[in-house]
Structure 1
Amino acid sequence: MLQIKLSNLPIDVIQKDIKHIHLSVYPPIGRVRISAPLRMDLETIRVFALSKLNWIKKQQQKLLDQERETPREYVTQESHYYLGKRYLMKVIEHNAAPRVVLKHSAIELYIRPDISREKKRAVLDEWYRQKLKEIVPEYIAYWKEKMKLEGIEYAIKKMKTKWGTCNREAKRIWLNLELAKKPKECIEYIIVHEMVHLLERHHNERFIAYVDKYLPKWRFYKEGLNKRPLGHE
């Protein structure tokens, strides 16, 4: 991967078989990447980046200013989120397999005595994963029919810089495990966004037209998602 620098700002440059140049600023710290056509020389790319420097810095500042959760300790009375709602954790020690129970305003974490923080986190993460697996298939089935797509697969994993990704060749979308903490409409927005990539690879006017068609309020959902606290990682 090539890299250019503007005022000590590193910018990753990827040249590939595309028609237009694309600029992205990624969370959590504002990494900058430019995707440019193969035919475009580095000086032209540098001039383009320079013209967008103020915008880049504004986007980076937004990311740095975004609220973040403090590191989780997985102890009683600690706040945790599920589907956009805040719950207080209640840690209950027992001599049986670990499990998580959702009760009104509490997330009950049943674990063996003297279990490590990392193990507690793994138990809760697995619970989040299973909950997403209960939610996601229904959305995929609905939008697959709307978009006239076939054979769509999905998988869930932890991602530090994206809410989701799409593998067009495998017809598979990947979803960030952190989405389990966000409202359902935000989960649906990310699913629609990634599935539209099966119709249009790039974030161009055609892509935006598809998302506008299928989910007219997507900008509202995106804004709401980006305003919510990020994981401390």
Structure 2
Amino acid sequence: MRTATHQFKLGNIPVAVSMKDIKNVHLSVHPPEGRVSVSAPLGMAKDTIRVFVISKLGWIKRQQAKLRQQEREAPREFINRESHYFNGERYLLRVVPLAPSQGAAHVQLKHKTMELHIRPDASMESRATVVSEWYRQQLKLAVPSIIAKYQKMMKVEVAEFGIKKMKTKWGTCNPNAKRLWLNLELAKKPPECLEYIVVHEMTHLLEPSHNDRFVALMDKFMPKWRFHKDELNRLPVRHESWGY
């Protein structure tokens, strides 16, 4: 896809503009601080784009205010009795010393406890890696059934999906490759929120932009999607030094 970029300011709000081979203008406000970006059709006049953004200024400021008020998780140290989340439920971490003869480090849920079985001398980074990989595997187990359910309903095909850490999005879709990428953090959220993001990205296989047709398709395939979107936006997000 051909692209060209430029930037302008509305008062103290920087707006990044990407000119692409698309039909419609798409405006986004990104976490955590409300960075504003616009995707516009190639050849659209800069003044036209500016007027469009000005017309959405009230909406932009409301979205920025929501993002800045969203609760942040405290930094995790992966120590005993620290809170961790899975499927929207809170678990207390229990670090279980693992002898060399007991196999590889792993995570196990027991009632409301998340047991991290790991060598006693493991660093915080090693502990974080084991937990992250466990989250990744849980998503890899959960996502295929969601995709299978909605492929039949939507009459589309997902060629593959992947899980990765993403700083500004819950998911992405490449319609040409029929590939979905999902944010690793979704493992911590309620299953309905994960399902909403999968459906959102799959809908992009039918409609690449967030236009009226996209909204109508979401209403058709997941009538309560707005509720799940609001729930996801209310939940605490990972503590991180976000960058772009």
TM range (shorter): over 0.9
1:69 Cα deviation after fit: 0.1
Runs of 4+ in 1 over 6 A off after TM superposition: none
1:230 maps to: 237
1:151 Cα deviation after fit: 4.7
The alignment's TM-score, normalised by the length of structure 1, stands at 0.96
2:60 maps to: 56
The alignment's TM-score, normalised by the length of structure 2, stands at 0.92
For residues 107 and 125 of structure 2, the distance between their equivalents in structure 1, rounded to whole angstroms, comes to: 15
Unaligned runs of 5+ in 2: none
Equivalent of residue 171 in structure 1, options 178, 190, 208: 178
Equivalent of residue 92 in structure 1, options 70, 93, 96: 96
Identity %: 60
Mapping for residues 31-180 of structure 1, pairs under 5 Å:
31-96=35-100, 97-180=104-187
1:196 maps to: 203
For residues 103 and 168 of structure 1, the distance between their equivalents in structure 2, rounded to whole angstroms, comes to: 40
Mapping for residues 4-15 of structure 1, pairs under 5 Å:
4-15=8-19
Task: Provide the aligned length of Structure 1 versus Structure 2.
Answer: 233
Question: For residue 161 of structure 1, what is the amino acid of its counterpart?
Answer: T
2:20 maps to: 16
Instruction: Summarize deviations over 1:55-86 as a string: whole Å, max 9, x none.
Output: 21221111011001010010000000000000
SS at match of 2:19: strand
| RMSD of aligned alpha carbons | 1.2
Instruction: Summarize deviations over 1:107-150 as a string: whole Å, max 9, x none.
Output: 00011012111111000000001111111011111111111123
For residues 162 and 150 of structure 1, the distance between their equivalents in structure 2, rounded to whole angstroms, comes to: 22
1:206 Cα deviation after fit: 0.9
Confirm or deny: 8 A CA contact 1:144 1:152 kept in the other structure: no
